[in-house]
Amino acid sequence: MDKRFYLTFGRAAAATLLLIAAQAASAAATAVDEAQTLMGQGQYDQALKKVEGQLKTAPQDAEARFLRGLILVKLNRGPEAIRVFADLTRDYPQLPEPYNNLAVLYAQQGDYEKARDALEAALATHPSYATAHENLGDIYAALAGAAYNRALTLDQSNQLVRSKLALISQLDHAGSAGTAPAIASSSTSTVTAPPAASSAPASIPPASTVPSAAASLDAGTMQNVTSVVNAWAAAWSSKDVSAYFAIYAPSFIPEGSVTRGTWEAQRRDRISRAARISVKALNPRVERVSDDRVGVTFTQDYESDSFTDKVSKTLELQQAGASWLIVREYTR
């Protein structure tokens, strides 16, 4: 389906965030204004340099971080943009715009379940956010279309399913035939960072951290980590939720600022709902992230009775005694 999803552009709303010193705010606003002007002129590389210069002096400047994500989208650097917006949802769960933009990027990858979760998180913070409501409707339509297509391939004689699929297609064509989607904007509001780093969640080492020679991976470690990833895929495939959750560390924090309990409930529901699941971790690549943490990037080949998908998935695992447990996961 050729769905159109609405990406939120402009400065993120921040009525609930703390104010910082006037002088620092003024300097940040100037840098962000200049970056936005360059972005409006199509000078995305220059805009990125400007905003990254601001972030060197104020790494927790939420407005600059948000703008950086938008610029990365314009530069077609989707995986980096996803990381920016995901980190913003973790640090500023009150803001709906990062959730929405994260959902749009997930939808572009075909990961509609993650897109749905992100939009529901946006609406949990701002129930009146019209853009997220519209995007969520499109996500549900995309999921419904995939399910109806699958049902039709299994039973070509089912005219009711055929009618439902035709209705979804009509809705899709109606949306595509209209004018270009209006870009939601909140450019008159500002975002300010918390006054001290201690007020923000603990930072997570980026997946791109370059390992030192002393922290290089040996063959045994690589084999152990790969075995854990394969066990994770096998537990998911067999719908053994107890074994599946046991591979996640107690310190695991889900993306999208949902609680561990909510995440587990969602995963349990989706896994049990499917009649059949097959998950394969193809071509795993293991890299050292820190002394006790590794990142495994692979192609996740997912297939159920109603949905198929292939995405690039990264699991970060931390050593726990003789074993390894997942502390972070995200889709690139």
pLDDT, one tens digit per residue, over 230-254 is 999 999 999 999 999 999 999 898 8
CB 146 within 8 A of CB 122: no
Give the range with max mean pLDDT: 59-68, 190-199, 226-235.
Answer: 226-235
Residue ranges, CATH 3.10.450.50, the chain: 213-331
Q: What are the residues facing 166 on neighbouring strands?
A: none
**CA pair distance 306, 154, nearest whole angstrom:** 10
Q: Where are the beta strands (DSSP E) in 190-236?
A: none
pLDDT at 28 over 60: no
Helices and strands (H and E) in the chain: how many: 11, 4
Tell me which of 42-46, 47-51, 125-129 is least confident.
125-129
pLDDT in tens, 279-322: 999 999 999 888 788 999 999 999 988 888 888 899 999 988 77
Coil/strand/helix, residue 59: coil
Give the helix/strand (H/E) hosting 147. helix 130-154
Which has more pLDDT, 22 or 302? Answer: 302
**CA pair distance 288, 231, nearest whole angstrom:** 20
pLDDT at 147 over 80: no
Coil/strand/helix, residue 229: helix
Residue ranges, CATH 1.25.40.10, the chain: 22-198
CB 123 within 8 A of CB 136: yes
| 213-331 CATH choice from 3.10.450.50, 3.20.20.70, 3.40.190.80, 3.20.20.140 | 3.10.450.50
Residue 50 has, within 13 A of its CA and on its CB side, a CA count of 20
Which tokens sit at 288? 């050292």
Whole-prediction pTM: 0.47
Question: What architecture is domain 22-198?
Answer: Alpha Horseshoe (1.25)
pLDDT at 71 over 80: yes
Coil/strand/helix, residue 304: strand
